[in-house]
Structure 1
C-alpha cells in the first residue's frame, strides 16, 4: 500500500487541479484508474478544509474519482474520523486500528460493519490541502491468499507425489543395476561365475558391469587352472606315494623270496667247500641244488623286472594284428615235454580258420604261458588240461582248465597280487614264486581287457578276452 501511495504522489506531482483542463485531468484519471485496477485498490484524492476549533470537515471536494457513483464508496464520516485523529489526536473507534504512521501518511486496519469486511486504509497529505485516501479489502486478499495457499498446497502435494514417482522410476534406473551388480558380486564371492551382468549401458554403471564380467571370466579361468594344477599335483603325489609303496613292497617281497634260495645256495656251497660228503654222488646233488635254486632266482628276477616295467608303464603296448592260434600252438609245442613228464592229457582243438586279434603278441604269449604253467603246477587227479578259444561277437575268449582242487573263495581276488600263494608248501615244491598271475593282471590291464578265474567241481579255469577281427 505504501508503494501505491508513492506512485500516486508521483502521478499527481506538480499538478494544479484548478488550472488543468478536462483533457489533462482525463490523462491523470486514466493513470489513476490503471493503477487502481492493477492493484485492486480504491484510490481517492480529496481536498479537505476543516474548522480549526472542532476539527470537523468544513469542506470536502473529491478530485478523484469525480463521478457520483464512485463517491458512494467513501463515507464522509470515515474521513472525518481520520482528520480529527490526525489534527487533534482524537481516538479512533475500536474497529479502526492504526498500523503505521509517518509524517506524510497513516495506515489503518479497519473493520467495516456496513459490509462486514476488513479493509486496509491509508490517508496521506498532499500540498494545498489535498489528501490521498487508499482503500483495499484485504479480507478478499486473505481469502485469495487462503485459496492460493490451498491451491499451492494441493499443487505441492501433487508435485511431491509426482516427484516421488519420478524419483522412484529415475532411481530405479540406477538402483536396479547396482543391485544386480551386488548380486553378481555375491555370486562371485561364492565362486559361482554363471551369472552375468547383461545391461547394455554406456555410463559408469555399464563400465563397472563389463569390468565385473571380465573379472568373473578371469577368476573362473584362473580358478579352473588352479584346480587342474592342484588335481595334477594330487595325482602326481598319489603316483609318487603308490610308486614308493610299490618299491618298498617290491623290496620286501624280493628280499623274502630270495632269502630261501640264497640260504640253500649258501648252505650247499659251504657243504661243498668243507667236503661234508666226499662221495661224487653227494657233490653232484649239491651242485644240482645250487644250479636249480640259481635258475629259480634267475626266473624270478626276470619276471619281477617284466612285472615292474608293466606296472610302471615303462613297457608300452604295441598293438599288432596276429593269429592267436599260432601263439597258443607254439606254447603247447614247447611245453609238450612237461605234459609228458607229468603224464598230463592235453585237450586243444584249434579252429580251422585263423583267429586274428589286435594285441601285443609278446605280452599275450606271456599270459598264455603263465596260464599253461599255472595249470601244469596245479593239475591233479585226472591230470587233464583243456585249452579253448570261443568267439563272442567282437571278442574271443581264451581259457585254460586243469583238473585239481578249487581255489578257496576267500583267495579268489588275492591270487592276482604279487607273491601271493594259496599253498605255500606246494608252491615251493614246484618252484613257484607267486608272480605269474600278477604279470597276467598287469598285461590285461595294459590292454584294457577282461580276465578272470572260475572254479568247477573238478578243477579251475583261467580265462582272458581279446578284440578279434574276422578274416575276409
Structure 2
C-alpha cells in the first residue's frame, strides 16, 4: 500500500526509487554456470574435514576401548595412555592407575592363595603324619605288649622259681624296647613336621667317630669284629650339628655291627672326595642287601629281616632318622653293596674348604 508524501504546499505526492537488477541477474547466471564445478570441491573439502574431525575424536575412543578390553582380560602390560589434557587424557590416566592398582591387588591375592594352599597342605600333611604315627605305634607295640602280658600272666600264675628271673629279665627287655621305639617315633615325627632346627658349628669329626666307637666297643668284642679306622688320626673339621651327626654315626654303626658277620671286619674311612667336602664311609663284612631293599632301606619301619632286628634290638626307625638329619645338612649320602659286605656313606662340609664343587 502506497503512502502519499505531503510537503508544505499541501499537495499529495509520491516518491519512487528505481534501480537496475541486471548485476543481480548476471551474478545468478554466473553461479548457475559454476555451481557444477564448485559443488564437488565443496563436497570433497567437507568430507576431508569430517574425516579429520572423526579421527581426532574416534582415535582416543578406540585406544580406550582396546585398553578396557585388555583390562577385562587381566592383561595389564598393554595399557595405552593418552597424553592429552582433555577428558580423554584424564580418563586414560584413571584407567592406567586402576590397571596398576588391580595388578598389585591380584598379585597380593595370588601370594595369599599360595600361602593359604601351603598352610592347608601342611595341616593335611601334619594330620596324615599324626594318623600314621598313631597307627604305627599301635602296630609296633602290639607284639612287645603281648610278650610282656604273657610273661606277666606267667608270673601271676606262679611259674617255677628258676623261670621267674628269666621272665622278669624278658619283661624289662621288652619294656626297654618299647621305650626306645616310642622315643624314636616321637623324634621321627618331629623331623617329618619340620620341627627340628640344626645348630651347625665347627666340630671335630674325628672326635665324634672315636666317641661313637668307644660306645660300641662291647658289641665289637662280643661279635669278634676287627676294626679298621683309616685316616681317623687326621683332625677332620666340619661344619655340622654335633649332636645330630653323633646320632647319625651311632645309628649307622649300630646297623653295620648288627648285620656284620661273626668274626668279620668293620671299616671306617674318612676321605676328601672334592674340595670342601669330607666323606665318611662305614663298611662291614656281611651278606649283601638285595637291590629292592637298597631302594627302601631308608623308609621307616622297613626291615630286611624283621625277626633278626627284633633279636638285636632294632626299631626300624634309625635309618629313617639318619636320612632326615643328613638331608637337613645337605649331605650326599647313601648305601651300596661292596665285595666284602655293605657300605654306608655321607658327606659334610669341611671347615675352610670351598664347597662349590666343580662339575
Give TM-score scaled by structure 2 length.
0.88
Match of residue 58, structure 2, among 167, 175, 178: 175
Match of residue 314, structure 1, among 195, 201, 219: 195
Matched, 1:255 2:138: yes
Given that 1:322 and 1:361 are in contact with CA atoms closer than 8 Å, whether structure 2 keeps it comes out as: yes
Match of residue 118, structure 2, among 223, 226, 235: 235
1:148 counterpart residue number: 34
Given that 2:151 and 2:167 are in contact with CA atoms closer than 8 Å, whether structure 1 keeps it comes out as: yes
Runs of 4+ in 1 over 6 A off after TM superposition: none
Of the structure 1 ranges 365-374 and 420-429, higher mean CA displacement relative to structure 2 is found in 420-429
Given that 1:310 and 1:446 are in contact with CA atoms closer than 8 Å, whether structure 2 keeps it comes out as: no
Check 1:422–1:158 CA distance in 2 against 1; reply closer, same or farther (3 A cut): farther
Match of residue 217, structure 1, among 94, 100, 108: 100
Alignment of 1:43-442 (within 5 A): 143-153=29-39, 157-276=40-159, 278-280=160-162, 282-380=163-261, 383-391=264-272, 392-442=274-324
Q: Report the Cα distance in structure 1 between the residues aligned to 2:192 and 2:332, rounded to whole angstroms.
A: 17
How many residue pairs are counted as aligned between the two chains?
A: 340
Deviation of 1:366 (Å): 0.6
RMSD: 2.3
Given that 2:231 and 2:271 are in contact with CA atoms closer than 8 Å, whether structure 1 keeps it comes out as: no
Q: Which has the larger radius of gyration?
A: 1
Q: Report the Cα distance in structure 2 between the residues aligned to 1:287 and 1:196, rounded to whole angstroms.
A: 84
1:448 counterpart residue number: 330
Q: Report the Cα distance in structure 2 between the residues aligned to 1:379 and 1:218, rounded to whole angstroms.
A: 68
Check 1:185–1:145 CA distance in 2 against 1; reply closer, same or farther (3 A cut): closer
- Structure 2, unaligned stretches of length 5 or more? 1-12, 354-359
- Structure 1, unaligned stretches of length 5 or more? 1-11, 16-30, 42-135
Q: Report the Cα distance in structure 2 between the residues aligned to 1:366 and 1:418, rounded to whole angstroms.
A: 16
Q: Report the Cα distance in structure 2 between the residues aligned to 1:159 and 1:319, rounded to whole angstroms.
A: 91
**Relative contact order: is structure 1 or structure 2 higher (C-alpha 8 Å, sep ≥ 6)?**
2
Alpha-carbon displacement from aligned partner over 1:308-359 (angstroms, at most 9, x marks no partner): 2222222211111111110011001111111000111111123444211111
1:74 counterpart residue number: none
Deviation of 1:161 (Å): 2.1
Deviation of 1:289 (Å): 0.7
Deviation of 1:212 (Å): 1.0
Alpha-carbon displacement from aligned partner over 1:239-293 (angstroms, at most 9, x marks no partner): 11111111111111111111111111111011011113x133x111111111111
Give TM-score scaled by structure 1 length.
0.68
More strand by share: 1
